[in-house]
Amino acid sequence: MGKRKPLDPGKIKPATLWIDAKHYRKAAEGLIAMAADAASRGDEGGVRQLLRPTWLVICTSMELGFKAYLNRQGFTLERLKWDVGHNLHQLQQDVLEQAEPDGELAWIVSRMKPAIGLLNEPYMDKRFVYRQIGVARYPKEQAVVCRLLEVFQGAIKPLVNLPVEGDGPEAEGIHPA
């Protein structure tokens, strides 16, 4: 492998990670709606085609949301990228260690444990990107996992220095040219 390129903390901040996590979650919600539409038409093939891409964007949203929180808690970008990588289980454990044990964040993140147990290995192995032959077992309720991500992202929003009110581009630090 080549030399590790250092990350620029001036360009990647907890808020930018959070914004990207939100965008991936919204993309997942769109894919879930498309799958529901396919299911309502009896199009099982259409539903199956959307399964892996939907889990990919859900897992990416989860990863970025966890990293936004951990970066805000003092984890360096290098540690998150090189030491933790795409390991959702490790990210979850790190969030649980940083969050108040009886607090809202710990409760939300703990509720994700069964899904992470099924999703972590295929996400780390990029099985949602590169199809493998064989039977795969994933959680059935993608919408439930998305809802947990939405609640988690809402809970950490003020912690990553984003305004709590408003949901437009300006509230996310995006200003039109």
CATH number at residue 49: 1.20.120
Binned at pLDDT 50, 70 and 90, residue 10 comes out as: low
CA dist., res. 150 & res. 154, Å (int): 6
Residue range 17-22: mean pLDDT, rounded: 94
pLDDT of residue 90: 98
pLDDT of residue 131: 83
pLDDT of residue 132: 80
Which range marks the domain in which residue 108 is found? 14-160
Place of tokens 């899904």: 115
The answer to whether position 168 is within a domain reads no
Taking only the tens place, the pLDDT of each residue in 90-112 is: 999 999 999 999 999 999 999 99
Q: pTM here?
A: 0.86
CA dist., res. 66 & res. 15, Å (int): 12
The HSE-up count of residue 158 (CA atoms within 13 Å, CB side) is: 4
CA dist., res. 70 & res. 112, Å (int): 17
Q: 20: helix, coil or strand?
A: helix
Least confident of 5-19, 32-46, 66-80: 5-19
The answer to whether position 5 is within a domain reads no
- Domains of the chain: total: 1
Q: What is the mean pLDDT of the chain?
A: 87
The answer to whether position 166 is within a domain reads no
Which one, of 51, 29, 59, lies nearest residue 121 by Cα? Answer: 59
The answer to whether position 107 is within a domain reads yes
The answer to whether position 56 is within a domain reads yes
Count CB-CB contacts under 10 A for residue 145.
26
Asked if residue 99 lies in contact with residue 67, where contact means CB atoms within 8 angstroms, the answer is no
CA dist., res. 104 & res. 86, Å (int): 24
The answer to whether position 8 is within a domain reads no
The answer to whether position 1 is within a domain reads no
Taking only the tens place, the pLDDT of each residue in 115-149 is: 999 999 999 999 999 988 888 778 878 999 999 99
Which one, of 74, 116, 73, lies nearest residue 92 by Cα? Answer: 116
The answer to whether position 62 is within a domain reads yes
Least confident of 2-11, 72-81, 152-161: 2-11
